[in-house]
Structure 1
Amino acid sequence: MRSNIFMSLRIPPKLLQIIKYRSVKVPLFLLGLILILNILFPPKIEVNFSTIITDRNGQILHTFLSKDEKWRMFVTLEEITPVLRKAILAKEDKYFYYHFGVNPVAIIRATVNNVLKKRRTSGASTITMQVVRMLRPNKRTYLNKITEILRAIQLEIFYSKDEILQMYLNLVPYGSNIEGIKSASYLYFQKSPDRLSLAEVTTLAIIPNRPTSLRLGTRNPLITEERNKWLKRFEREKVFDSILINDAIREPLNAFRHEAPKEAPHLSIRLQKNFPTEAIIKASVSKAIQTKVEQMVANYVNRTRAMNINNAAVLVLNNETMQIEAYVGSAGFGDKIDAGQVDGIQAIRSPGSALKPLLYATAFDKGILTPKNIINDVPTNFNGFEPENFDKKFNGKVTVEFALANSLNIPAVKAIRDLGKVELIEKLKKADFQTIRKQEKDLGLSIVLGGCGVTLEEMTQLYASFANEGNWQKANYLFTENPQNSKVELLSSSATYLITEILAQIKRPDLPNNFDYTYRLPKISWKTGTSFGRRDAWSIGYNKKYTVGVWVGNFSGEGVPELSGAEIATPLLFQIFNTIDYNSSSQWFRQPQDVVSRQVCAESGDLPSEYCSNKILDYSIKNISHTHKCSHLKKVYVNLSESMSYCVQCLPSDAYKEKLYANLAPELISFYEQKHILYDKIPAHNPNCTRFFSGSTNAPLITNPNNGSEYYLSENDLQQMQLACQPANDVKEVYWYVNDKLLQKTPANKAIFFTATQGKVKISCTDDKGRSSSISIMVK
């Protein structure tokens, strides 16, 4: 019962032990008085330490001044070595472990000397008393001395001897704004306290008594002389053996003031901002990898500056632990001309084509597409949005894997149109893309081509989910031995495997042309991206162990003609992988059980029909991928000379035959016509047939103008507007109507022009089979 009462009063363990096992020599009233005083006047240990950022192995990366502008680095108990402990105690308080905060013998000796000699000849302060004085500096008066003694006793009650020694070593002054032995150790010897030699320890032990006259770097000969005096005294008092003392005396003193560690500046500033009260923050980065990557980025940008490409950022993420192992925010933190202090890891930029793998992976998971499915890469109008490929060229019929490996834009926009932009946006929100959440209402189909804002951190985390079987995890910037990361199922392992295999192909246009990089091509999957106006170059790659994100460009947003993900960002990506994980090709991703091979038609990528003769193997996801039958050919009845076609209603009794014709989409026919590419055209329909082809199937697709758009024309100079459509393969002529009045009859795939009137305008197009489509525009 008594113990519970004491615990509720938060009695220090030492005082609790005295009360429980009180001897007759300690009156109860005195214990009660001490207890009351401890409750009323508890010791206040309020010290502002410098923030120290270390790497995963405890090596200091970066330090910051404390709030009171001091270099006061926190020294841990593990850094107090036996040599350091013995030297400090022999110098300052040899009876430290035997007294209760006050040394009565020293006080009596000092008092007698001060009275007889009428001046201060020797001190009586113990290490504990010095800690009290450093915590609360006051003038040296007898009253303050008594207070100091009482506080020292109190400190001994509340804290262990090791903790008090630790406080002393954290607060001891070394002149200027340097406090604590760890600060002095790093700023003068560039090493941690546990690596100091006996000579260095002794040097740091004698300076606090005379920090002004014994200033390291300017008074080193005098310091050496004083140091050797104390070393000889240590020998006489047998603190250390003679061999160790002689080695220490011969050791030269080359100490001078160094700059505080300032590595990984962008990450360090970020961690200090996120954890402002922590004295030591252990980052997840590896100092060795961080230094290598920083140097590679700096050297690389030094070469690209000749092209006016002045900055880069790199993030190296360990896929197994999801811990960051290198964080390079810019090519040079101190570069004021090119905004080196901007953190490129967190900067919001346009991703270019770098989001396409997520789009196609989502389409795989929805069963809409498989790698060998055919998409038409031809000029297409998406309600006013007319994307172009990076090289301004079009490829006609291409497979999905070709479209992704070659980063084609039109197939990607078609894929997001069929998938629905909401699906992609939800995936990005699930992957914690913060800017996407804010821009959600304003995003259109162009999101997959870079029409949104992302950060390198978000992109690297996204690609790491491809390496982790579709499971998204947030990257860790703090080191933990056994990280337990919460996972979000972003994609299936089957879809990510298909994407990984496509992105691992090396026969692609975004492989750098430089032989130096292709000669040592790392075994990775990677994707590039170049934003509109060539303002941002991306290259993000991954293997089993690492995901590396690279951004290259100018923080000013200035575009550069030579800037591209393939030629500028990818070489740096390859260089980093070859440095940090050169022999990674021995491990690769395993094919999931749900990924199976099946035969498909090479002309469409769909399951073969009775007309398919060219069959190839394609990957699919079991019970997920579509089972569309191929329809790339259709049967048409024609006369024997193949100059006329028939429908079932007008089919003659004889003199006809069946022939297979390519079932081409109107957009592909239009492309073939524009490029003068030969294709097998369906003959004109029997002119004597009276059948009317009704319905919207295969009706002409009006591609210009854009349905629902507003057009502004000058009153003084009314420009003519173009009318264009994409008819079916069997169409020879089309009829254009404006506000239900016939405008003109034209050959199929030929554009015409007309002068529009103000107001709402209805435009219709009817083919020679009677199939019709209409749109409306507003002319102002």
Structure 2
Amino acid sequence: MPLNRNFPAAVSDALAAARRRFSERGLPHRAALVVLVFLLLAKAALVVTFPLGAILNRPASLVVTDREGRPLRGTLSAAGEWRLPVPLADMGRWMPAAAVALEDRRFYLHGGIDTIAIARAAWQNFTGGRVVSGASTITSQVVRLAVDRPRTPWAKAVEFSQGAALEFFMDKDEILESYLNSVPFGGNTRGVEAAARSWFGKPAKELSLAEAALLAGLLRGPAYYRPDRHPERALALRNRLIDTLESRGVATPQEARRAKAEPLPAGRRAISSARIQAAEAAARYGGAAEARDGYGRFRSTLDSAMQRLLTGELTAALGNMEPGVTAAAVLVENETGKVRGYVGNAREGTGSGASWVDCTLSPRSPGSTLKPFVYALAFESGRAIPATMLADTPQQPSGGGTRNFDRLFRGPVSARTALADSLNVPAVRILRAAGAENVLGLFRRLGFSQLTREAEWYGDSLALGGCEVSPLELARAYHTLAAGGLDSPLVWNERAGLSAGTRVISAEAAALTLDILKDTRRNLPLYGEAGADGKTVAFKTGTSYGLRDAWTAAVTRKWTLVVWFGDPSGRPHRGLVGLKTAAPSAVRIMLKLTKKGDPWFTLPPSVVRKELCALSGAPRNQWCPQSRRDLFIEGVSDAAPCSLHTMKEGEISIKWPPELEGFFTGRGNREAEQPLTITSPKDGAVYAVGAENNKLILSSKGGRGPVYWFVDGELAGDSGEGAPLAWKMREGVHKIAAADEYGAADEIEITVRNQAEDGTEELPLLEESR
């Protein structure tokens, strides 16, 4: 019977039920009318004196469940008790049967007062010279549990009379359900569900005959028969009760024999879940206090299988990391906006430092994860398309200003390449073209609550992660991309639906952005395998300044996922690089959630593939020597033809914009004077790594000042001009880059193999090519 029923309404419902019962029992019309008149006259008095309100509205624990109704976490009730009410149908076979057979065997025959039991109790008490039996029924006990009265004969009489009246307000199953949900089992444990989870770590519906008999025995003395402290007493009583259940036909001899062989529980268990952050987030954002059902349960959107998947992948990834580093993740179902997975701290429950911090709610520097939204704004306004040429060049003549992570400048690149490779300088140029105020406004509309300052204060850093967002906020923002630019609050209540949403990004701009992020060229073997297997995952990595946060946001047609790795204290760690640390976990999760051949997003009608200049990215003119087809928004993207290629003195020439003209000129002068060249290892070389042969010398010539070395985009160290650096080899194909402070750079690619597998015994260098 659900809780929290309105008391006057319950009385009215009960009176209606009483009228039906009089009719069903065949009472004369006049007699029934007299009784009904009496009940109507007594209605006002019953509202004040009858404990129906206390019976119906006993404080219950709030229980957050997963989407299937399986409990994730419970909290103490307003009375400070663990009371987890469940329907009678969810109490299983044995507990209701044992309660009736042992506490009130004629429960379904009497009308709230068992006259046979009263007569027997009177005789036993008279002959024994003391109170031996009280003849209480389950119905009268429901009244007693609701109203605390002194244990006197008068109180007993009141309980019997009110119990008889209760039979007109509630049917037998409702009374039994109320009793089993309210009976105390010792301490602050009340009700069979809480007792089953406390003693056996399972729901009441899974209790065995032996377990139900033990709980029934605890009702007779929770402290006296406590099995972990008085196992002999508990075992003897349990077995006697099993014999009684067998003699009364509740259990067969075989069932009773097997039940007696079961061991007693060694101790009580914690009812509250060890991983509480997901349930607490669901309760907070889902409005659990108002949305819980009549049994105190709030059905969240969390999926237990998804929780296990996220937790397993993150925990595995943390196995080789420093103890101070942890991880968090949010998984959203795109169609419904429901949060299906939430890991606030992958080390939760381990007792390690800061394992109690819910990192999913913590504001952190997002690194490059906000760049896609800057590009989306530029696409939406028509200032750029994926093919648009951007300048990846120094912003100052000296080579200073914004730099890329690997300190290299690539010159002319397309917006598609710039975003896919997460280049910083082109992102800043896009930010300036779109307008910092406009970008900041978009970020705020996306729900980033920490952006409280003016655009001038953030400057170019808006595009590079110079602000703070939480993983939960970032998940909502990427879900907006997946939803075609419609922003809606994420859904935490399984019974609720996704709101209509507010348009914050055009559907066309969102489509172009996601198309770039599914680029298969990027250096992530797992993603390459995904593409080869017919699975498509769009993802964007991010690394905060100082190596404090590693991010990856991933999107498929069905799912949006954000994964974060970092130290809750904010300390830097060398391994916190988005592509290296967060991306493998994110892509691995998405691969497990994606089936081969799952469809990708459908492009909006106004997004077309158009023939464009291969260099400038603008619509091709008559002098453009090469073309390519790429995405274009009809009626929005700039339709002006390419202005880069012109005819000069009968020959096709390129009119570079100033930032690229200066870059080419400056680079040529520097290279003529002192070019930076990697001298070791050689480009294309193949090496073997073994236990005693695992260091490779990196050396260069030329350049000015310190030389910075990067392996697969991660800083490996720096050396003085012309000085070597030792790098510890690892298997795989690696890109090695060297760069000085003035933008001069060189890049090579090598392969490292296992020495034992290659059969090489002496020389680490297997082959060279240039």
- Tell me which of 291, 297, 300 is aligned to 2:308: 291
Unaligned runs of 5+ in 2: 1-6, 23-28, 672-770
Amino acid at match of 1:674: G
- Report SS of the residue matched to 2:662: helix
Matches within 5 A, 1:370-385: 370-380=385-395
Q: Is the 8 A contact 1:335 1:341 kept in 2?
A: no
Amino acid at match of 1:662: I
- Tell me which of 510, 525, 529 is aligned to 2:538: 525
- Tell me which of 134, 137, 143 is aligned to 2:145: 134
For 1:477, the equivalent position in structure 2 comes to 492
Q: CA RMSD in A?
A: 3.3
The reply to whether residue 24 of structure 1 matches residue 41 of structure 2 is no
For 2:622, the equivalent position in structure 1 comes to 610
Relative to structure 1, is the Cα distance of residues 677 and 56 closer, same or farther in structure 2, using a 3 angstrom cutoff? farther
Q: Which moved more, 1:69-78 or 1:268-277?
A: 268-277
- Report SS of the residue matched to 1:345: helix
Q: Is the 8 A contact 1:51 1:272 kept in 2?
A: no
Amino acid at match of 1:573: A
Relative to structure 1, is the Cα distance of residues 414 and 121 closer, same or farther in structure 2, using a 3 angstrom cutoff? same
For 1:697, the equivalent position in structure 2 comes to none
For 1:15, the equivalent position in structure 2 comes to 15
For 1:534, the equivalent position in structure 2 comes to 547
CA distance in 1, matches of 2:9, 2:501: 44
CA distance in 2, matches of 1:33, 1:427: 65
Displacement after TM superposition at 1:285 (Å): 1.6
For 1:505, the equivalent position in structure 2 comes to 519
CA distance in 2, matches of 1:402, 1:516: 20
For 1:564, the equivalent position in structure 2 comes to 577
- Tell me which of 473, 488, 498 is aligned to 2:502: 488
What are the superposed Cα offsets for residues 692-729 of structure 1, whole Å, 9 maximum, x if unpaired? xxxxxxxxxxxxxxxxxxxxxxxxxxxxxxxxxxxxxx
Q: Is the 8 A contact 1:604 1:630 kept in 2?
A: yes
Relative to structure 1, is the Cα distance of residues 272 and 151 closer, same or farther in structure 2, using a 3 angstrom cutoff? farther
CA distance in 1, matches of 2:302, 2:369: 25
Relative to structure 1, is the Cα distance of residues 673 and 12 closer, same or farther in structure 2, using a 3 angstrom cutoff? same
CA distance in 2, matches of 1:676, 1:138: 97
Matches within 5 A, 1:281-360: 281-305=298-322, 310-334=325-349, 337-360=352-375
What are the superposed Cα offsets for residues 425-464 of structure 1, whole Å, 9 maximum, x if unpaired? 3333332222236766844332121122211112112222
Relative to structure 1, is the Cα distance of residues 164 and 158 closer, same or farther in structure 2, using a 3 angstrom cutoff? same
Displacement after TM superposition at 1:122 (Å): 1.1
CA distance in 2, matches of 1:212, 1:439: 64
Amino acid at match of 1:13: D
- Report SS of the residue matched to 1:464: helix
Q: Is the 8 A contact 2:482 2:557 kept in 1?
A: yes
Q: Is the 8 A contact 2:527 2:587 kept in 1?
A: no
- Report SS of the residue matched to 1:670: helix
- Tell me which of 639, 655, 660 is aligned to 1:663: 655
For 1:217, the equivalent position in structure 2 comes to 228
CA distance in 2, matches of 1:546, 1:457: 14
Q: Is the 8 A contact 1:543 1:584 kept in 2?
A: no
Relative to structure 1, is the Cα distance of residues 484 and 376 closer, same or farther in structure 2, using a 3 angstrom cutoff? closer
- Report SS of the residue matched to 1:53: strand
For 1:728, the equivalent position in structure 2 comes to none
Q: Is the 8 A contact 2:436 2:459 kept in 1?
A: yes
CA distance in 1, matches of 2:385, 2:560: 25
The reply to whether residue 416 of structure 1 matches residue 431 of structure 2 is yes
| Alignment: residue pair count | 648
Displacement after TM superposition at 1:529 (Å): 0.9
CA distance in 1, matches of 2:456, 2:392: 28
The reply to whether residue 188 of structure 1 matches residue 194 of structure 2 is no
- Tell me which of 48, 57, 67 is aligned to 2:59: 48
Q: Is the 8 A contact 1:329 1:344 kept in 2?
A: yes
CA distance in 1, matches of 2:15, 2:623: 95
CA distance in 2, matches of 1:9, 1:592: 53
CA distance in 1, matches of 2:88, 2:192: 12
For 1:547, the equivalent position in structure 2 comes to 560
For 1:39, the equivalent position in structure 2 comes to 47
CA distance in 1, matches of 2:618, 2:324: 45
The TM-score, its normalising length taken from structure 1, stands at 0.76
Q: Is the 8 A contact 1:266 1:343 kept in 2?
A: yes
- Tell me which of 584, 590, 603 is aligned to 2:602: 590
Amino acid at match of 1:532: Y
Q: Is the 8 A contact 1:522 1:574 kept in 2?
A: no
Amino acid at match of 2:512: L
For 1:120, the equivalent position in structure 2 comes to 131
Q: Among all aligned residue pairs of Structure 1 and Structure 2, give the percentage whose two residues are the same amino acid.
A: 30
Relative to structure 1, is the Cα distance of residues 259 and 294 closer, same or farther in structure 2, using a 3 angstrom cutoff? same
CA distance in 1, matches of 2:580, 2:81: 47
Amino acid at match of 1:77: L
CA distance in 2, matches of 1:514, 1:400: 21
The TM-score, its normalising length taken from structure 2, stands at 0.77
For 1:454, the equivalent position in structure 2 comes to 469
- Report SS of the residue matched to 1:98: coil
Displacement after TM superposition at 1:375 (Å): 0.8
- Report SS of the residue matched to 2:632: strand
- Report SS of the residue matched to 2:281: helix
Amino acid at match of 2:42: I
What are the superposed Cα offsets for residues 276-333 of structure 1, whole Å, 9 maximum, x if unpaired? 474222222222221232232223223111xx75111011222233222221111212
For 2:685, the equivalent position in structure 1 comes to none
- Report SS of the residue matched to 2:610: strand
Q: Is the 8 A contact 1:264 1:327 kept in 2?
A: no
Displacement after TM superposition at 1:569 (Å): 1.0
Amino acid at match of 2:149: N
Relative to structure 1, is the Cα distance of residues 17 and 76 closer, same or farther in structure 2, using a 3 angstrom cutoff? closer
Relative to structure 1, is the Cα distance of residues 441 and 661 closer, same or farther in structure 2, using a 3 angstrom cutoff? closer
Amino acid at match of 1:38: L
For 1:622, the equivalent position in structure 2 comes to 634
Amino acid at match of 1:446: S
CA distance in 2, matches of 1:462, 1:262: 30
For 1:397, the equivalent position in structure 2 comes to 412
- Tell me which of 348, 363, 382 is aligned to 1:367: 382
- Report SS of the residue matched to 1:74: coil
Relative to structure 1, is the Cα distance of residues 11 and 573 closer, same or farther in structure 2, using a 3 angstrom cutoff? closer
Unaligned runs of 5+ in 1: 1-6, 637-656, 680-780
Relative to structure 1, is the Cα distance of residues 19 and 587 closer, same or farther in structure 2, using a 3 angstrom cutoff? closer
For 2:715, the equivalent position in structure 1 comes to none
Q: Is the 8 A contact 1:188 1:216 kept in 2?
A: no
Displacement after TM superposition at 1:32 (Å): 5.1
Larger Rg belongs to:
1
Q: Which moved more, 1:348-357 or 1:155-164?
A: 155-164
What are the superposed Cα offsets for residues 21-68 of structure 1, whole Å, 9 maximum, x if unpaired? 665386677535532321332523243323322212222222233344
Matches within 5 A, 1:89-128: 89-128=100-139
For 2:91, the equivalent position in structure 1 comes to 80
Displacement after TM superposition at 1:539 (Å): 0.5
CA distance in 1, matches of 2:525, 2:198: 45
Q: Is the 8 A contact 1:312 1:331 kept in 2?
A: yes
Q: Is the 8 A contact 2:274 2:349 kept in 1?
A: no
- Report SS of the residue matched to 2:369: coil
Amino acid at match of 2:474: M
Amino acid at match of 2:15: L
Q: Is the 8 A contact 2:491 2:498 kept in 1?
A: no
Displacement after TM superposition at 1:410 (Å): 1.6
CA distance in 2, matches of 1:524, 1:516: 11
Relative to structure 1, is the Cα distance of residues 571 and 488 closer, same or farther in structure 2, using a 3 angstrom cutoff? same
Amino acid at match of 1:630: C
